[in-house]
Amino acid sequence: MMKKVVIAGFIVCLFVVSAFPVHAADHEEKSFPPDPEDDVLDYSGEEPVSTDKRPNIDIIDITYLKESKKVTLTLTVKGVIENRGDINDEESFNFVSYMLSLYTLDHSYTILYINNKYNFTIDDEEVGELTDFRYAGSTLTVIFDLKNKDETYAGLDAATMEMSLSGAYTDDFYDYPEELAVSISAPSTGKVGQSISFSATVSGGTSYEYVWDFNEDSITDSAEKTTTYTYQQEGTYTVSLIVNDTSTGNIGYDESTITITASGTSGGSSDKKSDGSGFLPFIILVVVIVVAGIAVVVYVMRR
């Protein structure tokens, strides 16, 4: 259940939040703790139980390599990669499938592999071909390009399944960095040409790397905890902040909105506050008119 919640969170948030900033090294490699062997779940009975009878879908290792935009994912099982079934037959009850999903703070990439064919989706929409896919013995390798080379790793999962009339078997693996608590302190409005201050509050880690994006262009504008930014055009902007704990790889995210208006005058009106100097002559004039009116009334009554 926790896995499903986390996946949904990334799809609806990171994958909900439409303009997350991105920042990562051109080369990034991850290895994960080995997945336990013989932990395939057998659903043929009333309750799922672990079994060692399906080594062809028993995940034991996952790797991730990013080189600029190119990502290479590998999935290794205890037995051998089995090719059976039809990826285009949704009602088939005789297939073996292998699925790899990569999540960044901008997009989700999913590859479903069945019998030497695959379905590749980005943000749940089917796209073109992978750069490469292949299998050798127990390892399946898929290679594809990210939409942006600076996308930040946010998580990864894998799922395998064997389905037939005799039963159903599954195994899974997932990796998600723990989340840092991040919040942005910033004004909600500002002026064109004004230097505006932004600051971050973070907890849950020890050594932080800050990635600010002030104008939704997916380019890092600052790497400081407290910083300033000057907008050159009017508009409403989403300010985004990613914080990475460099000692653990844990990440956190926050965003805020700021509306920038023109400085100076617009439409004949001024943004300057009145100091009251123009109000005094008006009061004097009113007093003179009132006194004069009273004098006229008194003069008429005496006559």
pLDDT per position as a tens digit, 153-210: 889 999 999 999 889 999 999 998 878 999 999 999 999 999 999 999 999 988 999 9
Which range, 23-37, 69-83, 278-292, has the best average confidence (pLDDT)?
A: 69-83
Q: What counts of helices (H) and strands (E) characterise the chain? A: 2, 20
pLDDT of residue 189: 96
Report the C-alpha gap between 266 and 263 in whole angstroms. Answer: 8
- Between the alpha carbon of residue 91 and those of residues 9, 82, 150, 164, 165, the distances in Å are 29, 19, 39, 11, 12
pTM: 0.61
Phi/psi region, residue 92 (left: phi>0; alpha: psi -120 to 50; beta: rest), is beta
Q: Where are the domains of the chain?
A: 2-175, 181-261
Q: How confident is the model at residue 300 (pLDDT cuts 50, 70, 90)?
A: very low
**Nearest Cα to Cα of residue 127 among 103, 106, 108, 114:** 108
Are 29 and 74 in contact by the 8 Å Cβ rule? The answer is no
**Per-chain mean pLDDT for the chain:** 81
- Residue 180 is classified by DSSP as P
Pick the CATH number of 2-175 from 1.10.4100, 1.10.3470, 3.30.390, 2.60.40: 2.60.40
Pick the CATH number of 181-261 from 2.60.40.10, 2.170.150.70, 3.40.50.11540, 3.60.40.10: 2.60.40.10
pLDDT per position as a tens digit, 73-122: 999 999 999 999 988 776 778 999 999 999 987 899 999 999 999 999 99
Strand arrangement of the beta sheet that strand 139-145 belongs to = 27-31, 59-67, 70-77, 139-145, 132-136
